[in-house]
Structure 1
Amino acid sequence: MLTMEDIIRDGHPSLRTIAKEVPLPASEEDKKILKDLLEYVISSQNPEIAYEKGLRPAIGLAAPQIDVAKRMLAVHVTDEKENLHSYALFNPRIISHSVEKAYLTAGEGCLSVDESIPGYVPRYARVTVKATTLEGEEVQLRLKGLPAIVIQHEIDHLNGVMFYDHINKEAPFEPIENAIAIER
């Protein structure tokens, strides 16, 4: 199982590298990496396991964060209606998005960033993502709210982008026009 020691920290060159497409059908090695990403995220949300293994709680994790420059990510998060969105995806890409924006009022955090970086991170309020599942099935996911924000954060990792790159440096808490504020 992955631990906090497996997660590379801000400043590591892999976090600024554009990850490569995963050849499909995925190899057993790539499937194991993707399973490990999802297992970390799920386990980190269980207080007993998180404490026992020293895991920081997470709702998403991308392969570049464990120094694997491949387009893979895992998300395990509930939306505002308590519906679970649990995905382990190969080669996810945003194929459409809303004009409307959204942001987390508490800002975003990242397992690869140890310090808190305050500020609003503008994201699309709704996205449609095309990807391939662990089982090799091609899927199209329509996400909004928190799940949409999380998947955008993780896809950014695949493109060498960090969440704080989106924060307005001069006015980190300036209200984002026509955006939905999401409490978390």
Structure 2
Amino acid sequence: MLTMDDIIRDGHPNLRKVADDVQLPPSDEDKKILADMMEFVQNSQNPEIAAKYNLRPGIGLAAPQINVTKKMIAIHVKDDKDKLYSHALFNPKIISHSVEKAYLSSGEGCLSVDENIPGFVPRHARITVKAYDLEGKEIQLRLKGMPAIVFQHEIDHLHGIMFYDHINKQDPYYRPENAIEIIR
């Protein structure tokens, strides 16, 4: 079982590396790593398990955060209509996105970043992602709102990009014109 001890922290060089594609069909080892990542995200949202193992709550995790530089993400998040988006994916790629922007009212956080970094993180309001599931089957997801934000955050990790790289350094609370504010 993964714990916070398995998560590398900001400043570790592997958080800034571009991750490698996962060979398909995925190996048993890669499937196990991805399944463990999903288990961590789900466990971190369970108050009893999180308290027992001292897990910080998370809604997404990318393989580079556990020091595995491969394109794998695990996401377990609900949208504003309480619909669950629970996906463990290999080689996720944004294949289209809106011009319209969105950002979280509370800013973003990250399991690899221990301190709070204030500011708005502009993202695409809507995205389409192509990826492969645990069995290596191709899937396509159309996302908006909170799930779209989370997918962009985790996919950024696969390219060595941290959420705070998107914050306007001169004006951290700059709101992109006509952007959708997602209350969180």
TM-score normalized by structure 2?
A: 0.99
Alpha-carbon shift at residue 61 of structure 1 (Å): 0.1
Deviation at 1:136, TM superposition (A): 1.6
- 5+ long unaligned stretches in structure 2: none
Partner residue of 2:5? Answer: 5
Q: Alignment partner of 2:170: what SS?
A: coil
| Residue in 2 that maps onto 1:57 | 57
Structure 2 contact 25–135 (Cα < 8 Å) conserved:
no
Q: Give the structure 2 partner of residue 169 of structure 1.
A: 169
Identity of aligned residues (%): 71
Task: Say whether the 8 Å CA contact 2:102–2:123 is kept in structure 1.
Answer: yes
The one-letter amino acid of 1:159's match is H
Shift of 1:174: 1.6
Q: Which residue of 2 aligns with 1:97?
A: 97
Give me the whole-angstrom Cα distance separating, in 2, the residues matched to 1:42 and 1:56: 11
Q: Secondary structure at the residue paired with 1:172?
A: coil
Matches within 5 A, 1:1-184: 1-184=1-184
- After the TM superposition, which parts of structure 1 deviate over 6 Å for at least 4 consecutive aligned residues? none
SS of 1:37 mapped into structure 2: helix
Post-superposition Cα deviations, 1:112-136, rounded to whole Å, max 9, x if no partner, equal 0000000000000000000000022
| Equivalent residue letter for 2:70 | K
Let me know the Cα RMSD of the aligned residues. Answer: 0.4
Residue 87 of structure 2 aligns to a residue in which SS? strand
Contact map agreement 2:42 2:76 (CA 8 A) in 1: yes
Deviation at 1:3, TM superposition (A): 0.3
Which residue identity does 1:119 align to in structure 2?
Answer: G
Partner SS state of residue 95, structure 2: strand
Aligned length: 184
The separation in 1 between residues aligned to 2:127 and 2:55, in whole angstroms, is 29
1:75 alignment partner, SS class: strand
For residues 128 and 140 of structure 1, the distance between their equivalents in structure 2, rounded to whole angstroms, comes to: 7
